Amino acid sequence: MLGAAACAEGGNDVGASAGEVEYPTSTIRIMAPAAPGGGWDLTARTMQKALKDGGVTSQAVEVDNVTGAAGTVGLAQLVSKHNADPHRLMVTGLVMVGGVVTNKSAVNLTQTTPIATLTAEAEVIVVPAASKYQTLADLVDDFKANPTAIKWGGGSAGGTDQILVGLLAKAAGVDPKQAKYIPYSGGGETKAALLSGDLGVGVSSVSEFKELVKSGQLRALAVSGASGVDAGAGTPAPTIKESGFEVELMNWRGVVAPPGLSDAQRAAVVALVDKLHSSQAWKDALAQQGWDDFYKSGDEAKSFLDAESTRITTVLTDIGLAGS
């Protein structure tokens, strides 16, 4: 099986020794299972750029978008149409784990070949610049007084964004089922709704709203991690905990391959992504996007995905977004 030594072999591609597979031998296609403009799309395109700029492979790398149902439409496509194809990869993450539960998906991540977790990122709660809400406490005061009057929006139903709204509601003493949450298939749609005034509060990963916060079109009220991070305003935004509510949540993202890969194929794909992770181009991308390095590969990635499926099912049930 390919190991760390294979990653350091000469040439641009991951090499192969006797009994191992040469990889990649054709175009690598990375699926972003959501519309352009969102976190999965940004992750896939950042991978694409780093694979080339970092000299990880000389093969072409392309990104495809498949939208729908918190990524489970793309998941079903990966599982049913691309069996045993190591050149097909898909970005996944916490959102998809929740989407499998809330959409009662016929396929789940256990049917894929886990390759690696890549990043973890805080969520941010934003409002349009013209909003009356200057702090998260201001917003939650109105939310508690009239839960259905606040229009929250973010990614697909059951994903990280809605989980965060539900956890915040619970921490504030509001029935999570009363939260008026509007799911969008991509970050571009959420941004458009905020800027047009159709949406009162947006929830997503920090990188997704950062440019609009920086330009002054949106205002960041709080971030969901353990410490404050710059959400675009130039200074760290307060955490939800610092704002008075016991909520902490990080949105992780990773990459999986189709089912049916041989052990040698799986090892080759893991070696390629290991090499991507070690590249300066990827390290620069992490810094530019403000992503935390959350790297686990191979068997460690599989163990993490299995544990997350259990954890998120429990959380969704607890806040009323999944059946018990």
pLDDT > 80? residue 146: yes
Same domain? 47 vs 86: yes
> Between the ranges 1-15, 83-97, 182-196, where is the mean pLDDT highest?
83-97
85-126: per-residue pLDDT in tens? 999 999 999 989 988 988 889 999 999 999 999 999 899 999
Task: Tell me whether residue 3 is in a domain.
Answer: no
Q: Are 232 and 214 in contact (CB under 8 A)?
A: yes
Contact (Cβ atoms closer than 8 angstroms) between residue 183 and residue 157: yes
In this prediction, residue 9 carries a pLDDT of 35
User: Is the same domain home to 113 and 126?
Assistant: no
Per-residue pLDDT, 144: 97
**Is there a single domain that holds both residue 178 and residue 139?**
yes
CATH of the domain at 66: 3.40.190.150
- The pLDDT-based confidence of 13 (bands split at 50, 70, 90) is low
CA dist 276 and 52 (Å) reads: 9
In this predicted model, what pLDDT tens digit does every residue of 165-189 receive, in sequence order?
Answer: 999 999 999 999 899 999 987 788 9
pLDDT for the residue 21: 85
Residues 6+ apart with CB under 8 A from 31: 44, 63, 64, 65, 66, 74, 77, 78, 88, 89, 90, 91
DSSP classification of residue 41: H
Give the domain-ending residue among 200, 215, 243: 243
- In this structure, the dihedral spanned by the alpha carbons of residues 254, 257, 261 and 264, taken in order and rounded to 10 degrees, is -50
- pLDDT for the residue numbered 279: 97
User: What average pLDDT does this structure show over 285-290?
Assistant: 88
Residue 9 lies in a domain: no
Strand partners, 62: 29
Residues 137 and 227 in one domain: yes
Domain extent for 204: 122-243
Fill in the amino acid letter for 221.
Answer: L
The residue out of 211, 243, 275 marking a domain boundary is 243
Q: Is residue 46 pLDDT above 50, yes or no? A: yes
CA distances in angstroms from 150 to 89, 154, 206, 318, listed in the order given: 38, 13, 21, 22
Asked whether the predicted pLDDT for residue 164 surpasses 80, the reply is yes
* Boundary (domain end) residue, out of 209, 243, 277: 243
Q: Are residues 78 and 36 in the same domain?
A: yes
Same domain, 202 and 136: yes
| Res 11 pLDDT > 90 | no
Q: Are 117 and 127 within one domain?
A: no
pLDDT of residue 267: 97
The domain total for the chain is 2
* Residues 157 and 182 grouped into a single domain: yes
pLDDT tier for residue 155 given thresholds of 50, 70 and 90: confident
Of the candidates 108, 170, 126, the residue with the CA atom closest to the CA atom of residue 144: 170
Establish if 173 belongs to a structural domain.
yes
23-45 pLDDT tens trace: 999 999 999 999 888 889 999 99
* pLDDT of 258 above 90: yes
pTM for this structure?
Answer: 0.75
Specify the residue for token string 């993202």: 253
pLDDT of 8 above 60: no
Task: Return the H-helix or E-strand segment holding 42.
Answer: helix 39-53
Whether the CB-CB separation of 185 and 128 falls below 8 Å is answered with no
Which residues, 6+ apart, have CB-to-CB distance to 21 below 8 Å?
86, 262, 264, 265, 268
Q: What was the pLDDT predicted at 15? A: 52
